[in-house]
């Protein structure tokens, strides 16, 4: 048996004004430490896998951005779901993901923002954590006249279905660090937590989200 699970789940690979992984480079270096010399990159989220791999290699780190449906389908097609779960949850191999790579680390990809450009055999994902994440979470803009559904409304619709897990809306520039049974919000923006049947709540970087790893109810204030 390896060590406890270690996950770094990032909302986005790029932030306005910065390069690929630039906004979270220090977090990545801290997460990996000095002993990690090789990183396995899974480029299935984009069509041009070679170019995507080159981008990650040039940056010396790897994360999974791109389209969530494409990534999950490729994981199923290549029989990697069970293998990744085993390596992360049993062997203690660190897992990093961004955007699509963060989506597939959760219970399901039901709360992704991506279009279903391909059809995976299931929406159930790796299940490395017992809740869902909505990367690139956007707040409603009251100044815009766009009448489409807000991100919050879509998540509320998801929670109209029975037995749906919590959803953590990660704004760009934010990430969740999971170490064993401890989960901490990191980054520069913040997150919005959605629990079925309850009003969403706002959380700043530094928030302890460990309760999400064991149950769906936040601790009493």
Summarize pLDDT for 54-89 with one digit per residue, the tens. 665 555 444 466 899 999 999 999 999 999 999 999
Number of structural domains (the chain) is: 1
Q: Supply angle C-alpha 159, 216, 163, rounded to 5.
A: 40
Model confidence pLDDT, tens digit, residues 171-210: 988 999 999 999 999 998 899 999 999 999 999 999 999 9
Q: Supply angle C-alpha 192, 198, 204, rounded to 5.
A: 25
Given a contact cutoff of 8 angstroms between Cβ atoms, the answer to whether 119 and 73 are in contact is yes
Give the pLDDT of residue 63. Answer: 45
In a domain? residue 101 = yes
Q: Is 99 in the active site?
A: yes
Q: Is 114 in the active site?
A: yes
Nearest to 118 by CA among 44, 42, 11, 10: 44
For residue 33, give its domain range.
Answer: 6-150+161-213
Catalytic residue selected from 11, 13, 99, 108: 99
In a domain? residue 25 = yes
Mean pLDDT in residue range 12-33 = 60
In a domain? residue 156 = no
What CATH number is attached to the domain comprising 68?
A: 3.40.50.880
Q: Is 136 in the active site?
A: yes
In a domain? residue 155 = no
Model confidence pLDDT, tens digit, residues 23-45: 566 666 667 655 655 666 666 66
Catalytic residue selected from 13, 98, 108, 114: 114
In a domain? residue 59 = yes
CA distance 7 to 61: 14
The token pair that represents 101 in the structure block: 């790579």
CA distance 166 to 122: 19
Q: Supply angle C-alpha 57, 7, 110, rounded to 5.
A: 95
């Amino acid at each position: 048996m390896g060590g406890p699970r270690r996950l770094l789940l990032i909302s986005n690979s790029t932030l306005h004004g910065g390069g690929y992984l630039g906004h979270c480079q220090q977090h990545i270096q801290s997460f990996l430490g000095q002993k990690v010399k090789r990183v396995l990159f899974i480029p299935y989220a984009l069509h041009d896998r070679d170019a995507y791999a080159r981008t990650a290699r040039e940056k010396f780190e790897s994360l999974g951005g791109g389209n969530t449906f494409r990534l999950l389908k490729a994981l199923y097609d290549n029989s990697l779901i069970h293998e990744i779960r085993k390596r992360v949850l049993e062997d203690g191999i660190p897992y990093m993901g961004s955007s699509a790579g963060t989506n597939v680390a959760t219970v399901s990809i039901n709360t992704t923002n991506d279009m279903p450009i391909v059809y995976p055999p299931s929406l159930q994902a790796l299940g490395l954590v017992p809740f869902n994440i909505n990367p690139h979470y956007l707040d409603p803009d009251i100044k815009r006249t766009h009448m489409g559904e807000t991100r919050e409304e879509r998540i509320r619709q998801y929670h109209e279905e029975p037995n749906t897990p919590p959803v953590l809306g990660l704004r760009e520039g934010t990430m969740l660090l999971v170490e064993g049974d401890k989960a901490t919000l990191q980054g520069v923006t913040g997150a919005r937590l959605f629990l079925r049947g309850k009003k969403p709540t706002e959380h700043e970087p530094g928030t302890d989200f460990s309760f999400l790893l064991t149950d769906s109810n936040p601790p009493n204030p």
